[in-house]
Amino acid sequence: MIDRSIAPDIRPLLSVPLADPTLEILENDIPLYVFPNNELELIHIQLDIRSGAIYEPKKHLSLFTYSLLKGSHPKYHASEIADLLDFYGSAYDTDVYLDSVSLKMVVPKRNIPNILPIIFEMISAPKYREDYFNIIRQQRIQSLRNNLKKNSFIASRLMLQAMLGNQCAAGQLSTEESYEAITIPDLEQYHRENFCAENITLYCTGLLDKETLDQIRNIFGKISHGQRTLEMPVFKMPMDPSPMLNMEVPDSVQSSICLAMPHLGYADVISTPFKVLSTISGGYFGSRLMQRVREKLGYTYGIGNSFVFLGRQSIFAIQSDVDALHTQEAIDACFSELERLQNEPVSEDELETVKTYITGSLIQEISTSVAYMSKYAFWKKNSTDQIMVQKMLEFMQHIHPEDIIKEAKKYFSYNNFTQIIVGKELDNRQDV
């Protein structure tokens, strides 16, 4: 009998067998990646469009053009589309990112002939209605007003402004005026120019027999050709070279801090020790920053670091809401931990814990065919594919404490970061 009071041995995961998706090219040259799952009656379809604030010529175009589709069917209003989706047991969602737009559909296999053509009409030939457009725009404006009361929201948008400036719409601040400046003719023109076969990649998973695939091919193969959106540019970052941007918010109980620096693109991050280094510093609940700023000093409920990926580049940022009275001390503690990583070897136990955490997170992200499809779409957008999983697992087995020190010395210099503080006024600040 197994003694369940004794934990099993922990061994490194050296390989993850991932089936290659089937690649088809539709008659209009759209690539279709198929992830078969014979046990999934719900067909998941993801249509990725090269769009987003990185590419758009006018701020908010991607957001409004694609988030309004559900209320812009040429025949049905938003409430009628909602009723049809409910009747056919289907779902439709839109995700608008800085560098792409994803239209996601979930349809029972048997109902594809009934509802998918209706969804296709909605996304390919929308009729933008003034009343629906005005409702959504007023909701966005009200949401902006509410968010501008949150220090963390202000800090995040100041980060994008400091890093990107006016090089693209993503670096421009959202204002009520910028929302009011969007018009229906803007949306019609942007959809006409942007929604074309050259800008689209299609993914699907589920019980995809020949009949079902033929239906998907026939529907999405009708998307017309157009002008491909230009490749994502390489940005000069930071656009604002100021070492500190400090916005005072009187009577704030907390300050939102953001330490941001330009960094490598996704494909490079995962093939260097920086993936492990960033996890050690602030990438999980047991990270150095959590132990120091939360557990030891008690300045925050949570702190961590994250990436904003922009093609061949990224923004690496450490962010937290901290006790306003200890804003400077919290920032000093962050830099102290980054400096410690440059000078003190990480213990083998901590290094193995982080490697195990990264591996477990990766497995969780690809644990189902739907999750695998979504992750694969992210990989393709960032110029890599499932092969990187095996490469990363192999690479991590050969990372040693001295590699972490070298990587920290290379990137974690104090002068590499732009400090953004919203809340308490600090000495030697630059007002924003």
- The pLDDT value recorded for residue 12 is 67
**Same structural domain for residues 95 and 178?**
yes
User: Is 232 inside any structural domain?
Assistant: no
| Strand arrangement of the beta sheet that strand 300-310 belongs to | 244-248, 418-423, 254-264, 313-323, 300-310
**Interior/surface letters 277-302, b for 16+ CB within 10 angstroms, e for the rest:** bbbbbbbeeebbbbebbbeeeebbee
- Token readout for 11 is 């061994």
Q: 3-state class of 232 per DSSP?
A: coil
- The pLDDT value recorded for residue 397 is 85
Look at the block and give the residue holding tokens 């814990």: 353
R_g of the chain, CA atoms, integer Å: 24
First vs last C-alpha separation in the chain: 67
User: How far is the C-alpha of 31 from the C-alpha of 201, rounded, in Å?
Assistant: 5
Backbone angles phi, psi at 268, to 5 degrees: -85, -40
**Same structural domain for residues 193 and 335?**
no
Angle at 290 between CA 285 and CA 294, to 5 degrees: 125
**Same structural domain for residues 282 and 390?**
yes
- The pLDDT value recorded for residue 386 is 85
**For each of the chain's 432 residues, which pLDDT tens digit applies?**
678 888 777 666 666 778 889 999 999 999 999 999 999 999 999 999 999 999 999 999 999 999 999 999 999 999 999 999 999 999 999 999 999 999 999 999 999 999 999 999 999 999 999 999 999 999 999 999 999 999 999 999 999 999 999 999 999 999 999 999 999 999 999 999 999 999 999 999 999 999 999 999 999 999 999 999 888 889 999 998 899 999 999 999 999 999 999 999 998 888 889 999 999 999 999 999 999 999 999 999 999 999 999 988 999 999 999 999 999 999 999 999 999 999 999 999 999 999 999 988 988 899 899 999 999 999 999 988 888 888 888 888 889 999 999 999 999 999 999 999 999 999 765 566
Q: Which amino acid, one-letter code, is at 282?
A: G
DSSP sequence for 299-334: -EEEEEEEEEEETTEEEEEEEEEEEGGGHHHHHHHH
**Same structural domain for residues 210 and 252?**
no
E strands of 140-228, at which residues?
A: 200-206
CA distances from residue 34 to 9, 46, 115 in whole angstroms, order as listed: 37, 11, 20
CA distances from residue 365 to 40, 91, 360, 373, 376 in whole angstroms, order as listed: 18, 22, 9, 10, 10
**Same structural domain for residues 249 and 210?**
no
**Same structural domain for residues 178 and 34?**
yes
User: Is 187 inside any structural domain?
Assistant: yes
User: How far is the C-alpha of 63 from the C-alpha of 191, rounded, in Å?
Assistant: 11
User: Is 52 inside any structural domain?
Assistant: yes
User: Is 16 inside any structural domain?
Assistant: no
User: Is 45 inside any structural domain?
Assistant: yes
User: Is 89 inside any structural domain?
Assistant: yes
User: How far is the C-alpha of 70 from the C-alpha of 76, rounded, in Å?
Assistant: 9
- The pLDDT value recorded for residue 230 is 85
**Same structural domain for residues 296 and 363?**
yes
- Token readout for 324 is 């306003």
User: How far is the C-alpha of 286 from the C-alpha of 295, rounded, in Å?
Assistant: 10
Per DSSP bridges, beta strands 418-423 and 244-248 are parallel
* 432 in Cβ contact with 157 (< 8 Å): no
CA distances from residue 155 to 98, 158, 191, 215 in whole angstroms, order as listed: 17, 5, 31, 47
**Same structural domain for residues 129 and 260?**
no
User: Is 326 inside any structural domain?
Assistant: yes
Q: Which amino acid, one-letter code, is at 83?
A: D
**Same structural domain for residues 190 and 331?**
no
Q: Domain with 336 in it: what CATH number?
A: 3.30.830.10
Give how many domains the chain has, as a whole number: 2
Q: Which domain holds residue 310?
A: 244-423
Cα dihedral across residues 82, 188, 378, 283: positive or negative: negative
User: What residues form DSSP beta bridges with 105?
Assistant: 45, 92
Nearest to 312 by CA among 234, 237, 410: 234
User: Is 229 inside any structural domain?
Assistant: no
- pTM of the complete model: 0.92
**Same structural domain for residues 216 and 264?**
no
User: How far is the C-alpha of 139 from the C-alpha of 179, rounded, in Å?
Assistant: 11
